[in-house]
Amino acid sequence: MQQLFKALNDPTRRKILEMLKENELTAGEIADGFNMSKPSISHHLDLLKRAELVEAEKKGQFVVYSLNTTILEDMLTWILTLKH
Amino acid sequence: MQQLFKALNDPTRRKILEMLKENELTAGEIADGFNMSKPSISHHLDLLKRAELVEAEKKGQFVVYSLNTTILEDMLTWILTLKH
DNA sequence: TTATTAATTAGATATTTATCTAAATATTAA
DNA sequence: TTAATATTTAGATAAATATCTAATTAATAA
């Protein structure tokens, strides 16, 4: 849970998730969407992967990232429990 | 949105919200639930208040805190948008 | 094989954050 | 009015975080 909240506590990482909502993207394509160095984006992707919010698959020299919304169920449950 | 995610990105603050789910509580009663100084708890309460997750009402020398779940709608919406 | 491209890892740094103790403020009780 | 209680504010510090550049790894192309 902590890892999940931590991963979402950054606007860059939230925007990455929004980008991946449409299509899966390579690390480079994701980096192109930001005015930030590739290593920084790589670090953000690593945090998202650790939180299980994205999955990474190596395709040749590329790494393709895709969204994994499964883990968000836990957060939804936590929030809804608070509300009722 | 950033303030909201930030406020939830701490286990102490999340536990405070869970405590307030049951009853409203004074700052001192909340602090009693933790092995942490009162100023630290006061700081956490301040962050929760800024994020509009709690409301504070002064009653005599006490300050009573209560949960405000309204703002959580925004987060629910964000998460659900990501999922569909 | 050598050069190029894609991505990550390593290491450094500035900023943010969580925590503490001490001091200040505000309210109630003696 | 003075003392006690509840809470916050101020200031300091250690740890975590986001970012950068340089170096490394891995895969493809010449």
CATH topology of domain A2-81: Arc Repressor Mutant, subunit A (1.10.10)
Cβ of B77: how many Cβ atoms within 10 Å? 10
CB contact (8 A) between residue B82 and residue A21: yes
Q: Does B62 touch chain A (CB under 8 A)?
A: no
To the nearest 5 percent, what fractions of chain B are helix, strand and coil?
A: 60, 15, 25
Distance, in angstroms, between B76 CA and closest chain A CA? 7
Digit-by-digit pLDDT tens for chain B (84 residues) are 999 999 999 999 999 999 999 999 999 999 999 999 999 999 999 999 999 999 999 999 999 999 999 999 999 999 999 998
